[in-house]
Structure formats: C-alpha cells, structure tokens
Amino acid sequence: MSDMGIWLGIMFAVLSCTAYTAAAVAQRRLAVRVTAPLTGRRQVVGLLRHPLWWVSLVFNGGRAGFQVAAVSFAPLTVIQPLGVLVLVFGIPWSARLGGRRVSRAEWRGAAFTVVALGALLAVSVTNGQGGVLDTPDSVLVGVGTTALLLVTAWGAGRVPSTAWRSYLLSGAAGVAFGVSSATVKTSVAVIADTGAAGLAHPATLATPVIAILGLFLAQAAYQGMDLGAPLGITTLTNPVAASVVGVAFMGESYAGGWVGGAVALVSALLAAHGIRLLTVPQGTARTEAVADADRRHDSMPS
C-alpha cells in the first residue's frame, strides 16, 4: 500500500468525520426544536417534517460514502483512531450554535475521551483478514441486532434519568452503525458476485433497517442532552460492535492480544470518566449561556 494511498485514506477519513460531526450537530439542533420524546407516531411524523432531519440524513450519507473510500485506501488501524475527531470538531461547534461557551469540565471530558478513544480504537481492531457474513449468520446478525435495538429503545423509554436514557440510546445507535458496516461489506461483496440477486440477501435487507434504527436512536439520545456524551458513547460503541461481529461471524481475529485487552479496559474506564464530564443537560447548558450573558452585561460600562 503506497504512502499516497494512505494519505488519501486519511483525507477521506477526515471528510467522513466532518460529515458525521455536521450530521450530529444537526440532530442535536433538531432535538432542541423537537423536544417531545420519540415514543409515538405524532412525534416521529413531526420529526420527519423538519428540514434538519433531512439535512442530517444528507450528511450521514456523505459520512458513509467517505468512510467506504477511506477504508479502500488505508487500513483500519489508520482510519479507526481518526474517529475521535468528531468530538474535537463537534463539541465546540455545538456549543457555539447553542450560544454558550464550552465549560472547563467539557474540555477536560473531551480530552479524557479523545485520548481514551484513540487508545481503544487503536487496539480494538481485527486483523482484517476475514470474509463476509454467510446467509445464516446474516439472518442471525440482522434479526438479533434489530431485536436488541428495539428492546433497548423500549427499555430506555422507561428510564427516568435523562442522562442514562441518553447513554442507552447512544450506545444502541453505535451498535447499529457498527453492525451496519459489517452488513454493508457483505452486501457489496454479494452483489458484486451475484448481481441483482444480491439485493435479496439477508445482509442487504438488514442494512437499511439497522441503519435507520440507528439514526432514530441517535436522534432520541440528543433529547435533553448536549452533544458530547451521546456522541462520545456512539463513537466508542461503533467500532467495538463492528469488531465483535467481525471476530464472531466473519472469520477475523482480534489483533490486540492480552496487552491490547488490558489497554482497552483502562481506556474504556477513562472514556467513561470523560463521558461523565461531558454530560451537560439542556437546562444546564441554557443556564450557563444565560449566566455568561449576565456576566458580560455586568462587565459593560454604564
């Protein structure tokens, strides 16, 4: 693999992170405007009628396209750690649009999370030598993931804590995005081998279902929360879920070894601490913005 190919992969990975950040910021802004929990058809219809929902879909589509291009030029060991850029880009961007400053706790949380995710993503990769999902495994992964996402969404809707509800929903969204990357890889391979018949393959049929559920789960995770914690959890669970599917069903093997496992455990704990610092409820964010405005007003000469 040439140096030019690796740099092209890095370029596409950065573009993917930028598109993903834009999509997440759009979904966060949408959560401010559509505040009702997404538990009924009326709320979902209201969501689908809002232009920001379709803006987020466009950016998510761009993210997926850039990600496919990135992994075609560079190995996962190079591409995956760059996923932490979504936090670097997203937290100040979201705060700026919300009319407030990023708090010191958020900066510390972002630093902890970025370092932890970078280390975790660097060791939670597979050797990349596996194949694709066969038909029975595609059915098992597709049905199992769909059931897991629906059960998690049902359970999260009954959690009284806004923060923990967001944690569950964003974790499920990350699982959806990670698993859909495996089903997309399978679909591309099957369609390339069999042509139009591949459109009826279970992996091809499961991909849009899982991906759409992921988008709705991510949207629901931002309700009542600022961008940092949900985005951090989604960024954490996405590659881990993809690696689990790769090892369990696609013939890949974990490349980290025992040392990598220990690093992954420490990184996960550090990321959990960072995500806790990033947990800024909507009301708190608005209070901080008002307080900043009051301080600026008081400091103006009379």
How many percent of the chain have pLDDT more than 70?
Answer: 84
> Taking 70 as the threshold, does the pLDDT of residue 36 lie above it?
no
pLDDT at 15: 93
pLDDT tens figures, 78-114: 676 677 788 888 888 877 877 778 888 888 888 888 8
237, 230 contact by CB (below 8 A):
no
Closest among 152, 117, 78 to 229, alpha carbons compared: 117
pLDDT by residue (tens digit) across 278-300?
776 544 444 444 444 444 444 44
pLDDT of 167 reads 92
How big is the CA angle at 188 (ends 57 and 235), to the nearest 5 degrees? 45
CB of 26 closer than 8 Å to CB of 218:
no
How many H-runs (helices) and E-runs (strands) does the chain carry? 12, 0
Digit-coded pLDDT (tens) for 136-178:
999 999 999 999 999 999 999 888 888 899 999 999 999 998 8
What's the confidence (pLDDT) of residue 37?
63
Q: pLDDT at residue 1 above 70?
A: no
pLDDT tens-digit readout, 188-230: 889 989 998 889 999 999 999 999 999 999 999 988 888 888 8
The answer for 195, left when phi > 0, alpha when psi is -120 to 50, beta otherwise, is: left
CA 107/CA 92 separation, integer angstroms: 9
pLDDT at 294: 42
Whole-number pLDDT of residue 101: 82
The answer to pTM > 0.95 is: no
Tens digits of residue pLDDT in 140-151 = 999 999 999 999
Higher per-residue confidence, 12 vs 122: 12
Domain ranges of the chain: 3-281
Residue 138 · residue 183 · CB < 8 Å: yes
- Residue 253: pLDDT band with limits 50, 70, 90: confident
Q: What is the DSSP letter of 104?
A: H
